[in-house]
């Protein structure tokens, strides 16, 4: 059967102070009153049946996420005792599903993305499912056509086409490049390089064999968890084994070595859609309505005088943010904290988050 899972982990520190330990970024209702995880779940409609739509996230957010998603049940939620990066999240779900459905094919998405139009997204994903079913030992990734020479994404170097499919061989994964290299990739065009989107499709059995080959310690632990999943020892084994799994991403652990390994076929399917990774305040500003001077408002009220290209957002609808003579600022208000920074320094919010924790404690996180 076909399944779709959403990875909804991550602390979202670059979206502080709205993203907190109790309400991480995927649960903030800041996209027209809806959360990123709600939007991500809606995109799965029609791809797989509802009871085969799954979420993997930290146990501390289980109740909030289940409550946030209409019709969500605890059995469709895979609760990580602690975050151990993406290899273990996808391996956890694959190992458990393979125990009851050896032919399971799984699509993996994250709760960070805005992707439009949704109908075309579903068509591309369906072609990825077909590729994974048709090509033996296939590990499918979805690539995004670069819109600029970004240094914050990994790149997929494309090789030959896979006959009878929508995919191309990934000849090499390119890590986040420096500015000159990113410019060269961008100028080469999407026929040669795509952004690595972090979305995948594979047969559970194929992924598990790849993990066994390239990350054997992770594989051994995941198999222990899967073997105990339908026994009374389920949670005891999960709590004992999962936190000790080596922490590593699925890209580093299996996708990159598999692309150099003749046993597996790593294929990229182009996703020529509007794609936005909402991982920072400047990227969030791209989904907000802007006025004639490019000021973006993402909640609350904004009155400005001679101000341009700012992002202002409040978690309180009736809160007013007023600006005079400023530009290129990020101004975020919550009941406990207010952030003001230049857009060029938004990536440093993660560092600021750590400083807040050290000096003021968790009350402001």
- 3-state percent helix, strand, coil for the chain, nearest multiple of 5: 40, 30, 35
Residue with tokens 């240094």: 151
- Alpha helices, DSSP H only, in 77-196? 85-100, 118-134, 179-188
Range(s) of the domain holding residue 349: 281-364
Instruction: Please count the structural domains in the chain.
Output: 2
At residue 74, the pLDDT reads 83
Tell me, yes or no, whether 85 and 147 share the same domain: yes
Instruction: Give the torsion sign (CA, 206, 207, 209, 214).
Output: positive
Tell me, yes or no, whether 293 and 253 share the same domain: no
Domain boundary among 277, 307, 335: 277
Q: How many CB atoms lie within 10 A of CB 96?
A: 22
Tell me, yes or no, whether 271 and 286 share the same domain: no
Q: How far apart are the first and last CA of the chain?
A: 41
d(C-alpha 331, C-alpha 354), whole Å: 19
Tell me, yes or no, whether 192 and 316 share the same domain: no
Tell me, yes or no, whether 269 and 290 share the same domain: no
Tell me, yes or no, whether 260 and 288 share the same domain: no
Q: Give 10-residue mean pLDDT values along the chain (365 residues).
A: 93 91 90 93 96 95 88 91 96 97 97 94 97 96 94 92 94 89 95 95 98 98 97 96 97 93 94 92 94 94 96 94 98 96 95 94 87
In this structure, what token pair is assigned to residue 167?
A: 């995919």
Tell me, yes or no, whether 207 and 347 share the same domain: no
Tell me, yes or no, whether 152 and 229 share the same domain: yes
Tell me, yes or no, whether 164 and 290 share the same domain: no
Domain boundary among 211, 243, 277: 277
Domain boundary among 223, 258, 277: 277
Residue with tokens 């930290």: 58
**Cis peptide bond N-terminal to 5, omega within 30:** no
Q: Which residues contact 269 (CB under 8 A, 6 or more apart)?
A: 124, 127, 128, 131, 140, 141, 142, 143, 166, 167, 168
The secondary structure of 306-319 as a DSSP string is S-BS-EEEESSTT-
Tell me, yes or no, whether 349 and 229 share the same domain: no
CATH of the domain at 40: 3.90.550.10
At residue 125, the pLDDT reads 98
At residue 71, the pLDDT reads 87
Half-sphere exposure of 100 (CA within 13 A, CB side): 10
Tell me, yes or no, whether 238 and 110 share the same domain: yes
At residue 114, the pLDDT reads 94
At residue 11, the pLDDT reads 74
Residue with tokens 């059967």: 1
At residue 9, the pLDDT reads 82
Tell me, yes or no, whether 271 and 293 share the same domain: no
pTM, two decimal places:
0.92
Q: Which helix (H) or strand (E) holds 62?
A: helix 62-68
At residue 42, the pLDDT reads 95
């Amino acid at each position: 059967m076909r399944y779709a899972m959403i990875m909804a982990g991550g602390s979202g520190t670059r979206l502080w102070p709205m993203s907190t330990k109790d309400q991480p970024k995927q649960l903030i209702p800041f996209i027209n009153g809806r959360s990123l995880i709600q939007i991500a779940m809606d995109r799965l409609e029609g791809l797989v049946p509802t009871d085969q739509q799954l979420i993997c996230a930290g146990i501390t957010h289980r109740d909030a996420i289940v409550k946030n998603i209409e019709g969500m049940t605890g059995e469709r939620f895979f609760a990580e005792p602690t975050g151990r990066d993406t290899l273990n999240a996808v391996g956890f779900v694959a190992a458990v599903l393979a125990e009851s459905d050896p032919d399971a094919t799984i699509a993996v998405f994250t709760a960070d993305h805005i992707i439009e139009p949704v109908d075309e997204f579903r068509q591309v994903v369906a072609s990825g499912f077909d590729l994974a079913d048709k090509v033996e030992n296939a590990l499918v990734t979805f690539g995004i056509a670069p819109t600029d020479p970004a240094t914050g994404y990994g790149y997929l170097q494309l090789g030959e086409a896979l006959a009878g499919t929508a995919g191309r061989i990934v000849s090499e994964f390119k890590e986040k490049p420096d500015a000159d290299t990113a410019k060269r990739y961008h100028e080469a065009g999407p026929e040669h390089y795509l952004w690595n989107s972090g979305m995948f499709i594979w047969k559970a059995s194929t992924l598990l064999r790849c993990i066994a080959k390239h990350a054997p310690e992770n594989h051994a632990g995941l198999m222990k968890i899967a073997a105990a999943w339908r026994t009374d020892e389920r949670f005891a084994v999960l709590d004992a084994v999962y936190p000790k799994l080596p922490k590593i991403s699925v890209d580093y652990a299996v996708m990159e070595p598999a692309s150099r390994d003749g046993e597996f076929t790593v294929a990229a399917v182009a996703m020529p859609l509007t794609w936005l990774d909402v991982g920072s305040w400047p990227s969030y500003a791209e989904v907000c309505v802007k006025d004639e001077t490019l000021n973006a408002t993402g909640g609350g009220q904004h009155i400005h005088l001679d101000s341009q290209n700012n992002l202002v957002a409040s978690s309180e609808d009736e809160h007013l943010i007023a600006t005079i003579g400023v530009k290129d600022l990020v101004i975020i208000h919550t009941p406990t904290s207010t952030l003001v920074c230049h857009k060029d320094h938004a990536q440093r919010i993660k560092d600021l988050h750590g400083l807040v924790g050290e000096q003021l404690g968790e009350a402001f996180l």
